[in-house]
């Protein structure tokens, strides 16, 4: 969701006349922040500190801070970093260009934080990072009250878009060449709560199946408590909905789940996975897990390990509990020592790494269809492999047999898995007969984007620029001089 918000910010700036910086120094630097974990605070203020002398040497430079941390910290950002020019929150992303103009005109910092949504983000201009795949928000905000989570306080109550608006945006993406979309929502499967249709999400998935040219549909993230059988049926019966599911567990302990105010228990969670695998046998399931929630005992943690063992996740995003001021969990007793949390975290990641490697090993010998991406692996130069995602979202590095046509980003290749590791698969076809390429509209769109860039873009998928041949949405720091230079 933050990546998609960054695409909105980049789109608005370009619509206002800004262009991506190609050198080491930009005139405007925008931080789109997260507040889920404490290290986000540390990174922001650390990076702002690095930029202070850069801006002092370049007085015309502007710095803006937006997103969840801006919504939370507000005036604190300007107190800690008075060289920041604009601070805006989660509800008024569209104000960014105006705030920069106002700060420049008035020669003083601008702070604008709204308490409710100003304009639904999907109505704003967008500079999408890919021509072959796109994010589509179906809702913003959250109605849950998980005790560890600060998101509802920063994103507000759930607001749902109407199905027609969503489908129109998807159609526009497909018309531009995209063959894959990911539906986004804080609790994506509770979509429809605002207009009173409990089956709205499954209906939306089925409607996506009626869009010609749309080959892959994904969604993130659902909530186990609201995950119903009609959604599983829609996934199984809609051919372009991919056999992949991200289902946040958070903890395998029923006591901890209760303390988290997660309105399901481990048996319900495992039951959902059983139903999904019954209907979609090759589904790859991923999850989120928090280690070290206040009051978590060794017995509680062992329950999490047990559920992870039974769940056989393809991958898991594991986090050490981060105390967030303003959340109920921050005031709970029995906050765990760092050393205890770290030791449990290492045991959990070791278990999940083993399971992931075992689950990937089961893919050996399988024929998979891979959508080629513009990014290749770290060892691409020495292995000469390209990369892509299988239908179940596994990362596949593959080689092109000598004499075979090389795919473009957005094209689809069918290959046989020959090697497996915990975090990726490898396919090295023995001959051209074991390699099949299907050129797609998305690959055609990639070609057009390269032509539009006048040849300035990469000539192979291993290039580092975005789909337009220019720099894509930057999600990290700009290049900066090393301290003390």
pLDDT digits (tens, 9 = 90+) for 222-253: 999 999 999 999 999 999 999 999 999 999 99
Alpha helices for 180-287 (secondary structure H): 200-208, 229-237, 254-260, 266-279
> Taking all residues of the chain, what is their mean pLDDT, rounded to a whole number?
89
In which region does residue 292 sit, left (phi positive, over 0), alpha (psi from -120 to 50) or beta (all else)? left
The angle that helices 200-208 and 229-237 make with each other, rounded to 10 degrees, is: 0
pLDDT for the residue numbered 381: 74
Query: How big is the CA angle at 340 (ends 338 and 341), to the nearest 5 degrees?
Result: 65
CB 373, CB 387: distance < 8 Å: yes
Segment 196-206, tens digit of pLDDT:
999 999 999 99
The DSSP call for residue 241 is B
Average pLDDT across each block of 10 residues of the chain; the chain has 485 residues. List them in order: 85 89 86 83 90 92 92 91 92 88 92 74 68 91 90 85 94 94 93 92 98 97 94 98 97 98 97 98 97 98 98 97 90 94 98 98 98 84 89 97 95 98 96 95 92 52 40 42 39
Tell me which residue of 339, 326, 341, 248 sits closest to 294, measured CA to CA: 341
CB 289, CB 251: distance < 8 Å: yes
Q: Dihedrals φ, ψ of 324, to 5°? A: -110, 115
The DSSP call for residue 337 is P
- pTM for the whole thing? 0.82
Q: Dihedrals φ, ψ of 298, to 5°? A: -60, -35
CB 71, CB 89: distance < 8 Å: yes
pLDDT for the residue numbered 471: 41
* Peptide bond connecting 43 to the previous residue in cis, omega within 30 degrees of 0: no
pLDDT for the residue numbered 474: 41
Helix (H) or strand (E) holding 344: helix 338-361
pLDDT for the residue numbered 458: 39
Q: Tally the C-alpha atoms within 13 A of residue 314's C-alpha that lie toward its C-beta.
A: 23
> Which amino acids are annotated as binding site, given as ranges?
142, 146, 149
CA distance 277 to 34: 33
Question: Beta-strand (E) ranges in 276-383?
Answer: 284-291, 315-320, 367-372
Question: Beta-strand (E) ranges in 80-149?
Answer: 86-88, 110-112, 133-137, 139-140
* Domains of the chain, first to last: 2-112 (3.40.50.12160), 121-361 (3.80.30.20), 367-452 (2.40.50)
The angle that helices 266-279 and 298-311 make with each other, rounded to 10 degrees, is: 10
CA distance 81 to 287: 36
CB 206, CB 234: distance < 8 Å: yes
> Which amino acids are annotated as binding site for [4Fe-4S] cluster, given as ranges?
142, 146, 149
- The dihedral built from the CA positions of residue 455, 459, 461 and 462, taken in this order, carries a sign that is negative
Q: Which residue's entry shows tokens 């129109």?
A: 168
């Amino acid at each position: 969701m933050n990546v998609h918000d960054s695409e909105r910010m980049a789109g608005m700036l370009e619509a206002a006349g800004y262009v991506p910086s190609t050198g080491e120094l930009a005139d405007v630097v925008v931080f789109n922040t997260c507040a889920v974990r404490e290290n986000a605070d540390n990174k922001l203020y650390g990076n702002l500190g690095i930029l202070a002398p850069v801006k002092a040497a370049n007085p015309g430079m502007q710095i803006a801070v937006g997103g969840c941390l801006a919504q939370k910290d507000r005036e604190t950002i300007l107190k800690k970093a008075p060289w920041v020019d604009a601070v805006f929150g989660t509800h008024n992303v569209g104000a960014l260009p105006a705030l920069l103009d106002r700060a420049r005109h008035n020669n003083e910092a601008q702070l604008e934080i709204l308490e409710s949504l100003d304009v639904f983000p999907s109505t704003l201009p967008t500079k999408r990072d890919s021509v072959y795949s796109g994010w589509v928000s179906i809702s913003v905000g959250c109605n849950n009250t998980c005790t560890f989570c600060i998101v509802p306080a920063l994103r507000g109550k759930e607001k749902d878009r109407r199905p027609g608006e969503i489908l129109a945006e998807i159609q526009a993406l497909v018309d531009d060449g995209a063959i894959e979309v990911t539906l986004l929502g804080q609790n994506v499967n509770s979509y429809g709560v605002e207009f009173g249709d409990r089956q709205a999400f499954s209906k939306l998935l089925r409607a996506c199946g009626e869009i010609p040219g749309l080959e892959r549909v994904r969604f993130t993230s659902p909530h186990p408590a609201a995950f119903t059988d009609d959604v599983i049926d829609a996934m199984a019966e809609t051919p372009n909905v991919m056999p992949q599911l991200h289902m946040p567990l958070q903890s395998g302990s029923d006591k901890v789940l209760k303390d988290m105010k997660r309105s399901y228990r481990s048996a319900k969670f495992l039951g959902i996975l059983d139903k999904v695998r019954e209907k979609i046998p090759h589904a790859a399931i991923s999850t989120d897990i928090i280690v070290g929630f206040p009051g978590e005992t060794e017995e509680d943690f062992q329950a999490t390990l047990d559920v992870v063992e039974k769940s056989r996740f393809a991958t898991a995003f594991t986090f050490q509990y981060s105390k967030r001021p303003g959340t109920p969990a921050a005031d709970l007793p029995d906050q765990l020592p760092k050393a205890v949390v770290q030791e449990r975290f290492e045991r959990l990641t070791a278990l999940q790494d083993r399971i992931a490697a075992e689950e990937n090993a089961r893919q050996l010998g399988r024929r998979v269809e891979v959508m080629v991406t513009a990014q290749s692996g770290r060892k691409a130069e020495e292995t000469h492999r390209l990369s892509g995602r299988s239908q179940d979202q596994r990362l596949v590095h593959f080689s092109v047999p000598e004499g075979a046509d090389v795919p473009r980003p957005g094209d689809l290749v069918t290959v046989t898995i020959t090697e497996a590791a915990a975090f990726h698969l490898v396919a090295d076809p023995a001959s051209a007969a074991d390699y099949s390429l299907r050129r797609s509209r998305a690959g055609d769109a990639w070609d057009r984007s390269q032509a539009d860039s006048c040849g300035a873009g990469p000539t192979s998928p291993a290039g580092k620029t975005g789909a337009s041949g220019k720099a894509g949405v930057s999600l990290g720091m700009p290049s900066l001089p090393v301290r003390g230079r």
